[in-house]
A = this chain, B = another copy of it.
Amino acid sequence: MKPTKTKPAADHSTEEKIKNAARSVFHKKGYAATRTRDIAEEAGINLALLNYYFRSKEKLFDIIMTETMQGFLTSIMEILNDEKTTFEKKIEIIVGNYIDLLIEQPDIPLFVLSELRANPETLVSRISNKKVLMKSVFIMQFQQQIKAGKIAPIHPLHFIMNMLGMVVFPFVGSPMLKSIGDLKQKEFDELMQQRKKLIPKWVNAMLKIK
- Measured CB to CB, the residues of A under 8 A from B are 28-33, 107, 110, 113-114, 116-118, 120, 123-124, 127, 130-134, 154-158, 160-162, 164-170, 172-173, 175-177, 179-183, 191, 194-195, 198, 201-202, 205-206, 208-209
Contacts and interface: CB of A to CB of B under 8 A. Distances in A.
Contact of A29 (B118, B120, B165): B118
Majority secondary structure of chain A interface residues (helix, strand, loop or mixed)? helix
Contact of A166 (B161, B182, B205): B161
Nearest to A119: B175
17 contacts: A30-B30, A30-B33, A116-B173, A124-B175, A127-B176, A127-B179, A130-B179, A131-B182, A155-B191, A156-B181, A157-B177, A158-B195, A161-B173, A161-B177, A202-B206, A205-B206, A205-B209
A165 B170 contact: yes
B205 A118 contact: no
A181 B118 CA distance: 20
Contact of A157 (B33, B134, B167, B191): B191
Contacts of A30: 30, 32-33, 114, 118
B206 A133 contact: no
Contacts of A194: 155, 158
A11 to B, nearest CB: 31
Contacts of A191: 155, 157-158
Given A131-B182, A155-B191, A162 B202 contact: yes
Contacts of A202: 162, 206, 209
